[in-house]
Structure 1
Amino acid sequence: MGVRRTAKGVGDFLSGTVGDAVAEVILSLLACGLLAGLALIGYLNWHSSPRLTIAGVGLLSLFLAHGAWQTFRTPAKGRRRGLAVLTTAGFTLIAMTAVFLLLYATGCGCL
């Protein structure tokens, strides 16, 4: 009875450990692919038009700054509408992507 329970416990531990390792590899590969894709987009945009790339980055920065401001300020009426919802969602998505890349892309050899 004790041997079977021990063997089952060891098997559960090994399957959990292997599953965690596989998930870590998949997330790292996904992060490296995302980082490479973002770098390629930046390179291709800069190669086609540096002025337009700088203008686009400026507009994106304003968009994200407005989203951060809407996210971290205390709302007067407790309601967000229109542009505020869009910029808050964009800021949240970009922030989550940045945290994901910070956690998983630091281990890839492309940096």
Structure 2
Amino acid sequence: MRVRRAAKGVGDFLIDTVGEAVADVILSVLACILLGCLALIVYLSWSASPRLTIAGAGLLSCILAHGAWRASRRPAKARSRGLAALTAAVFTGAAATALFLLLYVPGCDCL
């Protein structure tokens, strides 16, 4: 009985370890693909029109700043209104993407 329990414990440990390693590799590859797509978007945008790229980056910065400001404040009412909710959602998505890239891009060896 003890041998079976020990073998089952070792098997579970191996499955968990291999599963975590595979998940880490998959997330690193996804992060590398995401970083490559972001770099490609910037390159193609800059190639098409540098002025519009700067203007778009400025607009995106304003949207992210407004979203960060709205996300950090407590709303006076329980629900947020249209633009405030949209910019807060954009900021939250950008922050989550930045955190994902920060955690997994160093492991993909694409830099």
Bin the TM-score by the shorter chain: over 0.9
Q: Distance in 2 between matches of 1:102 and 1:13?
A: 28
1:17 alignment partner in structure 2: 17
- Cα deviation for residue 8 of structure 1 reads 0.7
SS in structure 1 at match of 2:110: coil
Q: Deviations over 1:19-58 (max 9, x none)?
A: 0000000000000000000001101110111000000000
**Residue ranges of structure 2 left out of the alignment (5+ in a row):** none
How many residues align? The count is 111
1:54 alignment partner in structure 2: 54
1:66 alignment partner in structure 2: 66
Q: Distance in 1 between matches of 2:66 and 2:42?
A: 23
1:4 alignment partner in structure 2: 4
Q: Deviations over 1:60-107 (max 9, x none)?
A: 000000000001112223331010010000000000000000000122
TM-score by length of 2: 0.96
Identity %, equivalent residues: 70
- Cα deviation for residue 110 of structure 1 reads 1.9
1:93 alignment partner in structure 2: 93
TM-score by length of 1: 0.96
2:79 alignment partner in structure 1: 79
Note if 1:110 corresponds to 2:110. Answer: yes
Query: C-alpha root-mean-square deviation of aligned residues, in Å?
Result: 0.9
